[in-house]
Structure 1
Amino acid sequence: MRVLPRLLLSLVLMLLAAPVEGQERNINYELLAATRKGSEPAVRELLGRGASVDSRDRNGDTPLNLAARNGDVGLVKLLLERDAAVGMANLTGVTPLMAAAFGGHEAIVGLLLDHGADFRPVDRVGKTAMVYAAGNGHTECIRALLDAGVDVNARYRNDLSALMWAAAYGRASAVELLLQRGADVHARDNRGKTALAIAQEERQKEAVDRLRAAGAGPR
């Protein structure tokens, strides 16, 4: 009849553990909420109470991903000091570096790169940190990524280059920077289109002018 005592013991242990697990979940939710609000004192306190620095919400975002997206330099520094996973992506494949590059938060891009963030990951829609930076015209983020080792002529989904992304959205300053750093004006995507052709299609006059001044044209 030893089975019954063992079952009772197991049940007791499960009941004792349940509140602890619930408390852990609650404190992690509090950490994520505090991060969204940008409350550094609350985040610091919750981490001190044992909240997981790599907690994840229903979208797979960690506190670092949220802080990077919000451009909160202070929180990003705090989370990195607490050894937050610098490259943990959310459910759509977006990493903290991508989130910062998308928002044009160059200081955070620099911090993440200094802490070993990988610029190569691709999210579910085929974009990288460089694609987000170029498409949104965030020149300082582009500069930081190039300085970190991104190939200025790297190709992404559909054989698009960073120059093509910048040209498509009329990001003239980004086009100029990429050209200065050696972007190939004659490169073609998987449709056979150059950055100039793409800019012309999208009626991005300033980008067209910059590309023509750099020697883009029929070849």
Structure 2
Amino acid sequence: MAVFEEMLRRHPDLGTGIRRTLERRIRAWRAIHGAEQEVIFRQTHEPGQLGLSDFTDMGELGVTIAGAPLDHRLYHFRLAYCGFEHAHVVLGGESFVALAEGLQNALWSLGGAPREHRTDSLSAAFCNLDRDARDDLTQRYEALCAHYGMRLPATIEALLTRMVRSKGPRSSQASNRGRLAAARNCRFDDLATYRGFIDEIVSRRNARNAKRIDSERVVLQELPDRRTSDYEEVIG
């Protein structure tokens, strides 16, 4: 308005009809020459397309079992479209075994498998492994996904390649997922009670998305006849 009024002051013959034209010209000028603006690329997820896995260190929440601090992580699975979630308490660090167990528990609880699976959590498991061990871990992860008919997005294939060539960065911890148990009470009598508490939190969240979850279930891939291995063979 200040520019508009100044132009009328300088050029009274223009008239008030130029206001809309002036506003369009100023918007166009600002878009090209003005301050930088935030750019958002919105993601559109299709039903049955993508499942995501991650681990979160739960140490900062101060969970105790019978008065003793519990050193653990939370495995978390989520369908990108409908928001179905599954969480699994992991005693120890990020590993292929923990990922395989948690992912398979999630898929069998869901009753189907998405067409793609994405995770960067194997980067932590690659640390301190030699080349042969890293190659073996990559092949085991690819075999796990293939067993359920899930392909790896191209970005994950590239990530695995980088981790084989180097030891890769440790995966970031997603605080939003990790706070499933940011609870009013973090003191539990035993591990079973704590696991039940996590299951209750996840069940309530899934209940809020029940209609979307049911609509996505019908387009998921069928599960195989059995689970695949979620353990490591050690030859003594």
What TM-score do you get using the length of structure 2 for normalisation? Answer: 0.25
> Which has more strand, going by share of residues?
2
- Which has the higher Rg, Structure 1 or Structure 2? 2
TM-score (norm 1): 0.26
